[in-house]
Amino acid sequence: MRLALLTDIHANREAFEAVLADLAQRQIDRLVFLGDIVGYGPDPGWCIDQVESQVAKGAIALRGNHDRAVGTADNILNSNARRVIDWTVNRLNARQKLFLSELPLTVEDGDTLFTHASANDPADWIYVTSAANARPSFLVCDARLIFCGHVHRAALYSCDLVGRVTHLEIAPGNPMPLLQSRRWLGVIGSVGQPRDGSTLASYAILDRTHNELTFRRVGYDATTTARKSREAGLPEALAQRLMKGI
Amino acid sequence: MSVRPHPGLEINGFTLGEQLHKGGFATIWDVTHALYRTPMVMKVPTILDGYDGPTIVGFEVEQMIMPRLSGIHVPRVMGQGDFAVMPYIVTERIPGNSMFQYFKRAPRPVAEVIELAARMAEAVHDIHRQHVIHLDLKPDNFLQRPSGEMVLIDYGLSRHDQLPDLLAEEFTIPMGTFPYIAPEQFLRQRGDLRSDLYALGAMIYELATGKMPFGQPEKLSQVKQRLWRDPVPPRAIRADIPEWLQEIILRALEVDPANRYQSAAQMIFDLAHPMQIRLTARGHKTQRDPALTVFKRWRQMRNLKAFAAPPSVAAQIERAPILLVAVDLAPEAEPLAQAIYLQIKRMLVNRPDARVACVNVIKTARLGIDPTTDAAGTNLHVARLVGLKTWAEGIDLTDDRLTYTILENTDPATAIIDHAEANRADHILMGARGHSSTRRFLGSVSAKVVAEAACSVTVIRLRDQQPEA
């Protein structure tokens, strides 16, 4: 059983398509979307439709803070993000909005927990950026594997037999064995707005048979996405960060 | 761990038989499984009550690395157990004793030492190629298959290039077995494959002399001395050890990894071609360095924090390849030989630790007696060797990283392919003849090498002369 874990697509059609094309060649049994289908990018409708059709085929999809913001007019997003959400709302039809509003915050699948942000308070959208703030996720549940997104930078944390949480460095493309002796928290990098200095779209493959996690990077046509973003009148900073991966 | 191993225990289909071995950190059991006919053993870590971090992490490392390794030099993994019930690894059982028993009978005859050294180095090179540095090489961790190949076991201290180092944070003291650990391991560096070559050097020393190069230190302060104190030269212990063998041993035991062999394959190359080893002061040495030299080294080394280390195992192997250069010395091939010469010099810029094996093939007749002496009465072999050395003049390689071999074969391509295979060459560099009638009738040597060699091949071809207007 091989799962593809995708998160933070952020209405980036070109990146999403590139990732789908990549995993079409890799014998994936199930897709998991860890939230933030929309926001920042110029193709929210297309991305929602695509996720929706995958869900119809058995995929799991979760809600992220940007997906929530479409139906909730509050000020928890930064100004650029809020501007894009206001733009997005007018471009979605009722069915698409309904789809976003019905997405769950977390999904448990056997020994695995999927969430968008930190598992300890999924609706508070806490970033998991260090071993210290990965720890609460391990404390609040007994899942052996936890996967989240939200940070836009891939990372892997383990919690050993005595509860010590460690950040482990792994390079993309190398399968990492998720040892049975530990519990694991994988932060999946962003499909549509990578922020780790590389412009490549990010996702991960969880191989349940071999119990391995592999971070993957896929090239896509960021120039087109940036152009569409500018043409739609979205903030210039958002187009630029796609070209720099920041 | 809720279950303790005992004879008759059944776990995940495995049934435990008798206990075969009880070590400090683990017990080894004979096991059977309905689905496997191969004899197997189960290794179960001995975890002390309470938290026993190093043993647990060491076993995690082994569970992580062993399934990634394959091939004849590694035991095949059949199953793994969870810490929640009982941690274990089941592997095929390699019959016979470990090298530990064999080393008790050291010193051994030189021929035996070389054969075993080459076999051990082959196993080490195999795991290096698979991104793993063993970091705890010692006689106990080498088993020999009935067919002769060495099998490396016990990966509890090992490091995999592409996996995180779980042990890095676990230990505050150097890890390894004191008689064999390299100076950089004492400094807690865990990323240099040349540490394994140092341990190999210490083991060959022991096999050849019957003594360990640094005795059996019990304290870390004694281990640290190997950063400045040189071992007694093997020939001072046993006079019939050839100088070239001492050269190999002491080179592997160099304090600075940069002065050692740069890959296990390069060490195997020397073990296979002892007559080509260029002897240095290391080989001629008859006693330990004088007190003043040692004192100077002590001043230099005592506060050293780290040696320069390669970025990864793969990068180090890439930096230190064995390049095989096949050169045609015929007068009409001179421009081509010159182009190959320039190309090899260029390749050495990027791979400063490469070793270059220059080869020339004497094509022998399919039938009849081969003329090893030409019309003028010159020995062809010697003449070619001189020609090859003249060609290679100016290839700037230190130590003895440049060797010359004349091969004889009815088929030059086969000779080159076999020689590359036997010497674990990483890359073949050769020329292609132009569009001559010779090639039309004889077929292309380079085409066959490209098609059949097991490694990369670069073919140099001169552009045809422009037809005259």
Q: What is the DSSP letter of A63?
A: -
pLDDT reported for residue B436: 61
The SS3 of residue A77 is coil
Residue stretches of chain B with pLDDT short of 70: 1, 49-51, 366-378, 398-399, 434-443, 465-469
ipTM score here? 0.83
Do B359 and B381 touch, CB atoms closer than 8 A? no
Question: In sequence order, what are the beta bridge partners of B221?
Answer: none
CA dihedral A60, A138, A126, A22 (to 10 degrees): -40
Using CA atoms, how far residue A184 sits from A34, A156, A200, in Å, is: 16, 7, 25
Q: Is B435 exposed, middle or buried (0-12, 13-18, 19+ CB in 10 A)?
A: exposed
In this structure, which amino acid lies at residue A47?
A: C
What is the Cα–Cα distance from B15 to B1, expressed in whole angstroms? Answer: 18
A:B CB pairs within 8 Å: 38
Task: Give the angle subtended at the CA of B395 by the CAs of B389 and B401, to the nearest 5°.
Answer: 80
Rg (CA), chain A: 17
Do B128 and B193 touch, CB atoms closer than 8 A? yes
pLDDT reported for residue B131: 96
Q: What is the DSSP letter of B278?
A: P
Question: In sequence order, what are the beta bridge partners of B402?
Answer: B356
B301 is written with which tokens?
């080394």
pLDDT reported for residue B352: 82
Q: Are residues A177 and B163, on separate chains, in Cβ contact within 8 Å?
A: yes
Give the CB-side neighbour count of residue B137, counting CA atoms within 13 A: 29
Q: Are residues A174 and B162, on separate chains, in Cβ contact within 8 Å?
A: yes
What is the Cα–Cα distance from B42 to B26, expressed in whole angstroms? Answer: 10
Q: Are residues A179 and B56, on separate chains, in Cβ contact within 8 Å?
A: no
Q: Is B288 exposed, middle or buried (0-12, 13-18, 19+ CB in 10 A)?
A: middle
Length of chain A, please?
246
Nearest Cα neighbor of B195 from B91, B289, B310 is: B310
Strand A201-207 with A212-218, pairing: antiparallel
Estimate the crossing angle of helix B194-209 against helix B264-272, to 10 degrees: 30
From chain A, pick out residues whose CB is under 8 angstroms from the CB of B82.
180-181
What is the Cα–Cα distance from B9 to B26, expressed in whole angstroms? Answer: 17
**Which DSSP helix (H) or strand (E) runs through B110?**
helix B110-129
Q: Quote the pTM value.
A: 0.88
- Considering only CB atoms, A170 lies closest to which of B57, B67, B164, namely B164
Q: Are residues B169 and A166, on separate chains, in Cβ contact within 8 Å?
A: yes
What is the Cα–Cα distance from B212 to A57, expressed in whole angstroms? Answer: 66
Report the percentage of chain A scoring pLDDT > 70.
Answer: 100
Length of chain B, please?
469
What is the Cα–Cα distance from B55 to A123, expressed in whole angstroms? Answer: 40
What is the Cα–Cα distance from B61 to B243, expressed in whole angstroms? Answer: 40
Nearest CA in chain A to B131: A174
- How many angstroms separate the CA of residue B1 from the nearest CA in chain A? 10
Residue numbers of A between 138 and 167 with CB closer than 8 Å to B: 156, 160-162, 166
Summarize pLDDT for A117-144 with one digit per residue, the tens: 999 988 899 999 999 999 999 999 999 9
Nearest CA in chain B to A158: B166
From chain B, pick out residues whose CB is under 8 angstroms from the CB of A169.
164
Summarize pLDDT for A73-115 with one digit per residue, the tens: 777 788 889 999 999 999 999 999 999 999 999 999 999 999 9
pLDDT reported for residue A60: 97
- Considering only CB atoms, B63 lies closest to which of A160, A176, A179, namely A179
From chain B, pick out residues whose CB is under 8 angstroms from the CB of A156.
164
What is the Cα–Cα distance from B156 to B56, expressed in whole angstroms? Answer: 9
Nearest Cα neighbor of B282 from B240, B257, B256, B245 is: B245
Q: What is the mean pLDDT of residues A199-227?
A: 96
pLDDT reported for residue B374: 60
What is the Cα–Cα distance from A37 to A9, expressed in whole angstroms? Answer: 5
A61 is written with which tokens?
């999809």
Q: Are residues A170 and B163, on separate chains, in Cβ contact within 8 Å?
A: yes
Q: Is A130 on the interface with B (CB under 8 A)?
A: no
Nearest CA in chain B to A169: B164
